[in-house]
Amino acid sequence: MLELREPEGCFGVTEVRGLGPGRWAEHAPALRAALARLGVLCLRMEAELDDAGLQEVAGLFGAIKDPVGRTKDGGEMRYDQRRQLIDSGFVMTDEIREKLGDLCFGGMDDRRPGLFEAFHTDDTYTERPAVATVLNARELPPSGGGPTCFLDMRAAWELLDPGARREIEGLRVLYAYDNEDAFPPRRSARGPADALVEVTHPLVVEHPVTGTRAIYLDLDRARHVEGMPVAEGRALLQRVQDHAEARAPGCEHDWRDHDVLVWDNLSVQHRAGGNFAVGEPRRFWRYMIAGDPPRASQ
Q: What is the pLDDT of residues 105-145, one digit of tens each?
A: 667 666 676 667 899 999 999 999 999 999 999 999 887 77
Q: Is the pTM of this model over 0.85?
A: yes
What are the structural domain ranges in the chain?
3-65+76-289
The pLDDT, as a whole number, for residue 99 is 67
The pLDDT, as a whole number, for residue 274 is 81
- Fold classification of 3-65+76-289 is Double-stranded beta-helix (3.60.130)
Question: pLDDT (tens digit, 9 = 90+) per residue, 214-224?
Answer: 999 999 999 99
Backbone φ and ψ of 7, nearest 5°: -70, 155
The pLDDT, as a whole number, for residue 109 is 67
Rounded-to-integer distance, Cα 293 and Cα 202, Å: 10
The pLDDT, as a whole number, for residue 268 is 98
The pLDDT, as a whole number, for residue 51 is 96
The pLDDT, as a whole number, for residue 84 is 95
Say if residue 198 is exposed, middle or buried (CB neighbours under 10 Å; 0-12, 13-18, 19+).
middle
The pLDDT, as a whole number, for residue 101 is 67
Task: Answer whether 175's CB lies under 8 Å from 223's CB.
Answer: yes
Rounded-to-integer distance, Cα 270 and Cα 220, Å: 12
Q: Exposure string (b/e) for 123-158, b if CB count within 10 Å is 16 or more?
A: bbbbeebbbbbbbbbbebbeeebbbbbbbbbbbbbe
The full 3-state SS of 32-78, as one line of letters, equals: HHHHHHHCEEEECCCCCCCHHHHHHHHHHHCCECCCEEEECCCCEEE
Give pLDDT < 70 ranges for the chain. 21-22, 92-93, 96-106, 108-111, 113-115
